[in-house]
Amino acid sequence: MTDSRILSNVKDAELVEKRRSQMIKGAITLFKEKGFHRTTTREIAKASGFSIGTLYEYIRTKEDVLFLVCNAIYERFRERLEAAIDWNSPPVANLKRVITAYFQLMDDMQEEVIIMYQEVKSLKKETREYVLTKERDMVSMLENVMVTCLPASSSRQDATLLANNIFVQGQMWGFRRWMLQKQFTLETYIERQIHYVLQALAIADPGQAAAQTD
């Protein structure tokens, strides 16, 4: 599990794992509060519960911390989304459940979403691309579920685009709550967005109810 892309002086893999967990936890708290650039390595060390010297035993540069944080966040995203998929349930019910789970995830972790959005650019090209791969994976998960609901009249492209649409609409909820919450609760927001997707897929949405009604 320990990310070997980030070099560490310490050899004990278990310890590296543990220290990096502390680091990620501390750093996320700080990044939420003040962003990557306004957070100092000293603060990260302190919030992680060890000294600045120790911090640098487990990373090479400050950017490494950002990478670890971004990676950890995506890992959490992926895990939770994966847990929502049930390939044995009916396609449309599965789609509804996954979309609902994804939107709830974005609601729970809105601050992490913001970190991702605003700081990924601070990663150097190579690393950034690696992180973006993970984003693509998430969209793919949505897309794969979407495909199973595709009627004959629709093309694979629709699945791709609708998956992308859902993806950014989820982020929008995290990002733009202040604008949407006057008119929508998370539940009504989910319900409407699912409704539009089903319409786009030319699937009648009888009850116009949220996923759990299935």
Partner DNA sequence: CATGAATGAGAGTTCATTCAT
Partner DNA sequence: CATGAATGAACTCTCATTCAT
Q: Is 170 exposed, middle or buried (0-12, 13-18, 19+ CB in 10 A)?
A: buried
138 binds, among a copy of itself, DNA, none (CB under 5 to 8 A by kind): none
Any contact of residue 157 with a copy of itself (CB under 8 A)? yes
Q: Which residues in this chain contact DNA in the complex, by CB under 7 A?
A: 9-12, 15, 19, 38-42, 50-54, 56-57, 60-63
3-state secondary structure 37-92: CCCCHHHHHHHHCCCHHHHHHHCCCHHHHHHHHHHHHHHHHHHHHHHHCCCCCCHH
Q: Return the residues of window 67-86 that contact a copy of itself according to CB under 8 A.
A: none
For residue 46, the minimal CB distance to DNA (Å) is: 9
Judge contact between 210 and 187, C-beta under 8 A: yes
Distance of alpha carbon 135 from alpha carbon 73, whole angstroms = 11
Query: Among residues 125, 126, 152, 178, which is the contact residue for a copy of itself, using CB under 8 A?
Result: 178
Any contact of residue 200 with a copy of itself (CB under 8 A)? yes
Any contact of residue 118 with a copy of itself (CB under 8 A)? yes
Any contact of residue 121 with a copy of itself (CB under 8 A)? yes
Judge contact between 23 and 43, C-beta under 8 A: no
Q: Which is nearer to a copy of itself, 86 or 117 (CB)?
A: 117
Any contact of residue 29 with a copy of itself (CB under 8 A)? no
φ and ψ of 149, to 5 deg? -105, 0
Window contacting a copy of itself (CB under 8 A); options: 11-19, 90-98, 105-113, 171-179: 171-179
Asked whether the CA dihedral 82, 88, 94, 97 is positive or negative, the reply is: negative
For residue 14, the minimal CB distance to DNA (Å) is: 8
For residue 206, the minimal CB distance to a copy of itself (Å) is: 15
The backbone region for 202, taken as left when phi is positive above 0, alpha when psi lies in -120 to 50, beta otherwise, is left
Give every CB contact of residue 92 below 8 A, 6+ residues apart in sequence: 149, 198, 203, 214
Which spans of this chain sit near a copy of itself (rule: CB under 8 A)? Answer: 35, 37-38, 114, 117-119, 121-122, 132, 136, 139, 157-158, 160-162, 164-165, 168-169, 171-172, 176, 178-180, 183-184, 188-189, 192-193, 195-196, 199-200, 202
